[in-house]
């Protein structure tokens, strides 16, 4: 058997992927009325179906989970129907697609929540700005710490999101536990100063993630259609932790019993620590890494056995046929950051494929 490379097939739990090229989850703020994915989203994901696995943009599991303008949800019949068009089209093109389940927590604003204050692990206001509907900038609000008794209700919303994703035809779901959103707010101690069973020790801070994963796996029917995204060192959204290696290795070990489809670690290349391989060993699931990878760095990471697959973000935004381009060794279109967030077709579905480039 030849050693695997980026173009070798791989099995993520119940998902057979034709190669190890993964579309990273990318918020594009182009949902329509009712936060329903539009026809341009069908085109956008279908254009990228030559990758082995597509992970959708972060998708709120409930109206209160939203924190940005025009992000899609997975809590209404209209949203499920909108996503069904995406999954049908991606499947017809030979692709596999999972939905990223999202609850923003303190990275939100009462305007998104019917006037209710954002919730988090603790009442700690993040630095930075929120964008309100219409893209007006505002300060974050100081969130309200969730009562212990409210936590099962939020977990049930993640589980309902997973059930709805199954109904919408997805091949699986990815629990968004990265980048400073609600689950990460429980994990990392810069955002979690709770004194109940969800705060303090590493074991306690991991509890919310474990309970969400348990409920999502039960709602999906098994853990083999469920992945988890973690970002141990990412400071985005005003996050940090006093001992990320211990925290995230313990989190991964706590998730092992669910037999997950994959673990996805956002860890910029060149980060001088072994945390992604340590997480893979602890969780015993295929590893997807992400953060600044190109053809050369992803091929050498797979060849060295440091990862099983690689997710591409900005490169995949600009190159819908990224799998073909990587195979050909390029060339690549340049991403345009001005059209990343919001707008319509421009900068979304009009990057040319190689033959037309």
Binding site for ligand FMN (CB under 6 A): 24-27, 57-58, 100, 176, 178-179, 229, 266, 290-293, 312-315, 340
Q: How far apart are CA 140 and CA 184, in angstroms?
A: 17
Smallest gap from Cβ 231 to ligand FMN, in A, equals 8
Residue 152: partners with Cβ closer than 8 Å, 6 or more residues away: none
Residue nearest to ligand FMN (CB): 313
Smallest gap from Cβ 135 to ligand FMN, in A, equals 15
DSSP 178-209: -TTSHHHHHHSTTT----STTSSSHHHHHHHH
Smallest gap from Cβ 68 to ligand FMN, in A, equals 9
Smallest gap from Cβ 317 to ligand FMN, in A, equals 7
Q: How far apart are CA 283 and CA 20, in angstroms?
A: 19
| CB-nearer residue toward ligand FMN: 170 or 312 | 312
Smallest gap from Cβ 291 to ligand FMN, in A, equals 5
List the beta strands (DSSP E) in the chain.
10-12, 15-17, 21-23, 53-60, 97-102, 119-120, 129-131, 137-139, 144-145, 172-176, 226-230, 262-266, 287-290, 309-312
Q: How far apart are CA 171 and CA 58, in angstroms?
A: 16
Identify the residue whose tokens are 């900038």.
137
Identify the residue whose tokens are 């391989």.
277
Smallest gap from Cβ 56 to ligand FMN, in A, equals 8
Q: How far apart are CA 262 and CA 229, in angstroms?
A: 9
| CB-nearer residue toward ligand FMN: 227 or 286 | 227
| CB-nearer residue toward ligand FMN: 95 or 291 | 291
| CB-nearer residue toward ligand FMN: 169 or 342 | 342
Q: What is the 3-state secondary structure (H, E, C) of 83-143?
A: HHHHHHHHHHCCCCEEEEEECCCCCCCHHHHCCCCCEECCCCCCCCEEECCCCCEEECCCC
| CB-nearer residue toward ligand FMN: 178 or 202 | 178
Q: Is 181 a catalytic residue?
A: yes
Angle at which helices 151-167 and 77-92 cross, to 10°? 50
| CB-nearer residue toward ligand FMN: 145 or 322 | 322
Residue 345: partners with Cβ closer than 8 Å, 6 or more residues away: 40
Q: How many CA atoms lie within 13 A of 31 on its CB side?
A: 27
Q: How many CA atoms lie within 13 A of 217 on its CB side?
A: 22
Smallest gap from Cβ 149 to ligand FMN, in A, equals 29
| CB-nearer residue toward ligand FMN: 91 or 314 | 314
Q: Which of 181, 198, 341, 351 is catalytic?
A: 181
User: Which residues are designated catalytic?
Assistant: 181
């Amino acid at each position: 058997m030849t050693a695997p490379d980026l173009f070798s097939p791989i099995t993520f739990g119940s998902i057979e992927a034709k190669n190890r090229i993964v579309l990273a989850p990318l918020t594009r703020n182009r949902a329509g009325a009712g936060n329903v994915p539009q026809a341009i989203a069908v085109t956008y994901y279908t254009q990228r179906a030559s990758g082995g696995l597509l992970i959708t943009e972060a998708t709120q599991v409930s109206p209160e989970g939203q924190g940005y303008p025009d992000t899609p949800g997975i809590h209404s019949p209209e949203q499920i129907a909108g996503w069904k068009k995406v999954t049908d089209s991606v499947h017809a093109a030979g692709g596999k697609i999972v939905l990223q389940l999202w609850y923003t927590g303190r990275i939100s604003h009462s305007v998104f929540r019917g006037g209710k204050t954002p919730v988090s692990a603790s009442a700690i206001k993040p630095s930075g700005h929120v964008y309100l509907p219409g893209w007006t900038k505002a300060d974050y609000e100081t969130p309200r710490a969730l009562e212990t008794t409210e936590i099962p209700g939020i977990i049930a919303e993640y589980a309902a999101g997973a059930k709805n994703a199954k109904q919408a035809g997805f091949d699986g779901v990815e629990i968004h536990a990265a980048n400073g959103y609600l689950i990460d707010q429980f994990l990392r101690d810069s955002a979690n100063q709770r004194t109940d069973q969800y705060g303090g020790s590493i074991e306690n801070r991991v509890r919310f993630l474990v309970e969400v994963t348990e409920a999502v796996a039960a709602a999906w029917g098994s853990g083999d259609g469920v992945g988890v995204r973690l970002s141990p060192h990412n400071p985005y959204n005003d996050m940090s932790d006093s001992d990320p290696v211990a925290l995230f290795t313990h989190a991964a070990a706590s998730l092992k019993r669910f037999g997950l489809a994959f673990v996805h670690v956002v860890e910029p290349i060149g980060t001088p620590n072994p945390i992604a391989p340590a997480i893979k060993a602890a969780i015993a699931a295929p590893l997807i890494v992400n953060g600044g990878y190109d053809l050369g760095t992803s091929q050498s990471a797979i060849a060295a056995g440091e990862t099983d697959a690689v997710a591409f973000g900005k490169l995949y935004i600009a190159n819908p046929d990224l799998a073909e381009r990587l195979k050909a060794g390029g060339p690549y279109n340049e991403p345009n950051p001005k059209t990343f967030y919001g707008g319509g077709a421009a900068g979304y579905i009009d990057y040319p494929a190689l033959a037309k480039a």
